[in-house]
Each structure stands twice: as C-alpha cells, then as structure tokens.
Amino acid sequence: MDIQSSASQRADGSLIAVHKSLIQRVTEYAKALISLMKMGIVIGNVVAATGGFFLASAGQINFIYYLITMLGISLVIASGCVFNNIIDTDIDCLMQRTQDRVLVTGQVSKSVALAWSMLLLFAGFNILAWFTNTITLLLGAFGWLMYVVMYTLLSKRQSVHSTLVGSFSGSTPPVMGYTAVTGQFDLTALLIFLAFCAWQIPHTYAIAVFRSDDYRQSNIPLLPLVKGYRIAKNQMLFYTALYVLAIFGLFVIDSIHAVTFFCLTAMGIYWLVRIHNAYDADETSEQARAWGRELFFISIMAVSLMSLLFSINFVWSWLFEFNWLS
C-alpha cells in the first residue's frame, strides 16, 4: 500500500507539474500576443478618443455606450499595431529598443500574428458597425488603412513626409469618439482632426531627435535626420502654431468653453517658445538629444491636457452658469 501510495503521489505531482507548465506557456504566449498590440499606443489613443466622446456628449454621457465604443476603437487600433509589427520586423531587429519584440525573437510567428491582427480587426469593425454609426465605422477603416497601408507599407521607408501621412491615422480616434455621439462629421470634427494632426508632427520629430541613433540605424528617412534639425525646428514651429489655430477655431464656433481655450492656448504658446528657444547645438550633441527629449515630454503634456479639457469642457459651463445663491 505504501508503494502504491507513493507512486500515486508521484503521478499526481507530475500531473500538477505538467498543468503548471502548460498554464505558464499559455500565459507567456498570451502576453506575447498582447505585446504585439502595443498597449501604450492603444491606451493613448483611447484617452484621445475619450476627449472627443465626452466633448460631444456635453455632460450627457452614456457610459455603457462609451465603453462599447472605446472597445471597438481599441480593437481596430490594436489590429493596426499588430500589422505594423509584422511589416517592421526587419527593421525592429536593427533598433536597440525593439530588438526584444516577439516577432524578432521568434516567440510568435508572422502567420499567427497575421491571424491575430485580422481577428482583432474583425471584432473591432463588428462592434463599431453594430453599436455605433456608419461614419464612425468608416473613420475606423480610414484610420486603419492610413496607418497600415499608406504609412507603414508605402511611405515610412520612402519619404520624409511619412510623419504627415501617419498623423492622419493618429488623428482619427478622437474624431471617432466625437462622431460616435453626434453621428456626423461636422466643422468641430474637422477642427479636432486638424488639432491632433498638427500636434503629431512636432511630437514625432522630437522623438526622432532624441532617438536619432536608433532611427539612423534603421534607415527610416525622418525629416529631422534627412533635412537637418533647423528645418525640422521650423516645421515644428509651423505645426504647433497650426495646432493653436485649430484650438482657436473650436473656440470661435463655440465647441469649447473659454476656459478650455485659454488653457490650451497657453500650453501651445509655451510649446512654441520652448521649440524656438531650446535648441542651438550641433545635431550630434547630447544637447540636441536633450532638446528632443524635452519637446517630446511637452508634446505629451499638450495632448494629455487637450484630451482632459475636452473631456471636462462641459464642467465650465455648469460652474459659471450655476446659481450658487439659489
């Protein structure tokens, strides 16, 4: 009996070990698939889409509809990110910060990644089609095609203007949040699109400057690296000014409150000043990389503030119109 009991315990222990090993492998593979979705990008775009959604809702927020809309948008964006990983595997292996991605290491095959991307896209499009409206679905398709086809496949490795092409896809989520509520692409939607487009150019150029070594190794022709930092600086000044003008346009047509307008304008002016004043160094110097890093963080502050103030824009009207003496 003792021998049988001991054998049974060893068998049970082996079975438990096999189950643990299987669970661990499945968990690691699931994490690998999730990493392909670039959750940082997905979350950042959901924050921007939330700004558009809440701005259009003007305080009358249907939270169930909001969550469903954000899920649909997230899945479409995640699908585009997986496709981007597949296409860029050959250059990811050249860049220090991307050498550990799961397609580079072989942890996930390209065929599995492709199937995963199509599943995400199918789910995202179906959610948008069933629960939102036609214009939001079409915008999702537009953003996906601009990111995967026009940016990643056709322009990223060929043109210094690829950043502008990519900005069209990056500006789509906040507009989708807006149209999910309104059901129409109006002047407000156009100005939101313009503001996010204009924001993305100096943001991306700042990344190119402080991560210049990586981008030079991968031969991606970003404008600061091809045309020089001084030309990039002028481009950054132009697009940041355009961002401020788009915010002004939203205020003129009464889409945002004066408080939102003044806060975002102040942020934009500060951004312009830092772009203008912060850089006067050799392009290979540490000072230049520090300049790019600073402007990158300022751009993150700008887009975060824009998304936040769009989301709470309705609060200002409530505060100023509320009769505190009643």
List the chain domain ranges: 29-162+169-184, 186-320
Query: How confident is the model at residue 20, as a pLDDT?
Result: 65
Residue type, 34: I
Matching fold, domains 29-162+169-184 and 186-320: no
Q: What is the pTM of this model?
A: 0.89
Give the architecture (CATH level 2) of 29-162+169-184. Orthogonal Bundle (1.10)
Q: Cβ(281)–Cβ(287) under 8 Å?
A: yes
Distance CA 210, CA 100 (A): 20
Query: How confident is the model at residue 266, as a pLDDT?
Result: 97
Cα 162 to chain centroid distance, Å, stands at 16
Query: How confident is the model at residue 3, as a pLDDT?
Result: 56
Query: How confident is the model at residue 221, as a pLDDT?
Result: 85
Q: How many CB atoms sit inside 10 A of residue 209's CB?
A: 27
Supply φ then ψ for residue 276, to 5 degrees: -70, -40
Q: Cβ(143)–Cβ(120) under 8 Å?
A: no
The residue whose two tokens read 């002028």 is 234
Taking only the tens of pLDDT, the chain with its 326 residues reads 555 555 555 555 565 655 666 777 888 888 888 988 999 999 999 999 999 999 999 989 999 999 999 999 999 999 999 999 998 888 877 776 777 788 888 888 899 999 999 999 999 999 999 999 999 999 999 999 999 999 989 888 888 888 999 999 999 999 999 999 999 999 999 999 999 999 999 999 999 888 877 777 777 888 888 888 889 999 999 999 999 999 999 999 999 999 999 999 999 999 999 998 865 555 667 778 888 899 999 999 999 999 999 999 999 878 876 554 44
Give the architecture (CATH level 2) of 186-320. Up-down Bundle (1.20)
Q: Cβ(205)–Cβ(163) under 8 Å?
A: yes
Distance CA 145, CA 311 (A): 27
Query: How confident is the model at residue 290, as a pLDDT?
Result: 84
Q: Which residues contact 94 (CB under 8 A, 6 or more apart)?
A: 217, 218
Q: How many CB atoms sit inside 10 A of residue 120's CB?
A: 23
